[in-house]
Amino acid sequence: MTDDHSYDLIRFVTEASPCPYLPDESSQLEYRVPATLDAESLERLIERGWRRFGNYVFRPRCRVCRKCRPLRIVLEDFHPSKSQRRALRRNQNVELHVTQPQVSDEHVALFNAYHRDMAERRGWPDNATSFQNYYESFIGRPNEFAREFQYREDGRLIGVGIVDVFNAGLSSAYFYHDPSWRKLSPGTFSILKEIEWAKTHSMRYSYLGYWIHENQSMDYKARFTPHEILEACVDLDEEPVWKIAAE
C-alpha cells in the first residue's frame, strides 16, 4: 500500500468545524477508504498517526492546531500503577472473551444505553443506533485484524472494545460499557486487559489513539507509562518519529 490515490476508493478532507476537544480550536479530518486493507498495511498507517473506524481510516488535518498527538504504551516496560492494580481487583468477577466483531440485539442495546448516558453527562448527541448502522460502523467488510473484546459479568454483556490487532501491537478503536459499571473504572480496566492480552502474544505496543495535553478527559491515557508520543502524523513514504514521554 502506498500513498498513491489510486489505492483509495474514497479520500477527502472534511470542512472545518468546532473542535469537540478544544473549544477555541477548529477541527478537520482526512478520511480514506483503502481498496484493500490487511494487518500489515493497517500497522503502517497506525504507526504514522492514522486510526480506523469501520471501512474508513482517518487522521487530523487541522489547518493550524497540531495538539492531537498519537500515544502508544511501551508494553515491555509497562507495570500497572497502584490505582490501576486496584481497578483490576475491583473487576475480578468480569470475564473477558476475545472474538471476531459481531452484532446482536444485546450489542445495540448496550451501545445505546452508553450513549444515552454520555448525552446526559457530557452533552453528546443522543443518536440511537440500529442493528444495520452498528454493523456498518463496527463490522463492515471482513477484516482479519479486527477483534472484539467482550466483557461479561454473570454472563451479561457489560462492555465491548473494538480492537485492531497486528504484528507488533494492537490499537484500541472504540470502547463502550454499561453506565452502571462506570464507578468501577471500566475504561482503565479494559486497557489493562488489552495490555495483558497483547503481552501474552509477544506484542510491543498498545496504541491508545489521540491524546491532547490540554483536554482533561484524555488524562487517563498518559497515566499508562512508559508511553511514546508521535512527533507528527506523516505519509506512508515517510518514517514516523516516536519519542518516549517524560513521566
Q: Is residue 247 pLDDT above 80, yes or no?
A: no
Q: Are 50 and 166 in contact (CB under 8 A)?
A: no
Q: Indicate whether 50 belongs to any domain.
A: no
Strand, coil or helix: what is 231? coil
Q: What is the pLDDT of residues 31-72, one digit of tens each?
A: 999 888 999 999 999 999 999 988 889 999 998 899 999 999
Q: What is the pLDDT of residues 86-98, one digit of tens each?
A: 999 999 999 999 9
Q: Indicate whether 43 belongs to any domain.
A: no
CATH number, domain containing residue 191: 3.40.630.30
Q: For residue 174, give its domain range.
A: 74-205
Q: Indicate whether 115 belongs to any domain.
A: yes
Q: Indicate whether 80 belongs to any domain.
A: yes
Q: Indicate whether 121 belongs to any domain.
A: yes
| pTM, rounded to two decimals | 0.92
Strand partners, 74: 205
Of 189, 165, 164, the residue nearest 174 (C-alpha): 164
How many domains would you assign to the chain? 1
Alpha helices, DSSP H only, in 37-155?
39-47, 82-90, 105-122, 131-138
Q: Indicate whether 114 belongs to any domain.
A: yes
Q: Indicate whether 159 belongs to any domain.
A: yes
Q: Indicate whether 112 belongs to any domain.
A: yes
